[in-house]
Structure 1
Amino acid sequence: MGVQSRGESNGETITVTKEGRWYVARDESSGVASQGETKVEALENLAEALELHARPVADTDEDLEPSTAPWH
């Protein structure tokens, strides 16, 4: 379908393909992909997915409450 550069200076590549009735946008450097019914929707969804992908993961040991499971 098409290849678009996400930024001239960094050379990162986004590919947009059509699979059935869905457009699929994929960031080639990270492997993150998303889809939408239009190219614009697929790219917007990809932008959101990339933001979530870039978020730091919290230290889960400190954030979790002790388990109350009977097998713990």
Structure 2
Amino acid sequence: MTAEAPPLPDGPSAEVRFVSPYPEVTRQVADALRWFFAFDEGGSYPAGLKATDLRQRLPLAPSYSPRS
């Protein structure tokens, strides 16, 4: 379980997108990125030819860490 996302600060930002056939791996990667970077609410979407993969989109603020 993750904490509620703080709003992204003004300034540089990035959007990370990745696809995995394993929903658990997608969740773990998203949680790891959330640990190191501030993020805005992203989304998960079906992906792949048969829509069996999961595509994750996470807007991040690389210059700001919630751990600082």
TM-score by structure 2 length?
0.30
Bigger relative contact order (CA 8 A; separation at least 6) = 2
- Structure with the higher fraction of residues in strand conformation: 2
- Structure with the higher fraction of residues in helix conformation: 1
TM-score by structure 1 length?
0.29
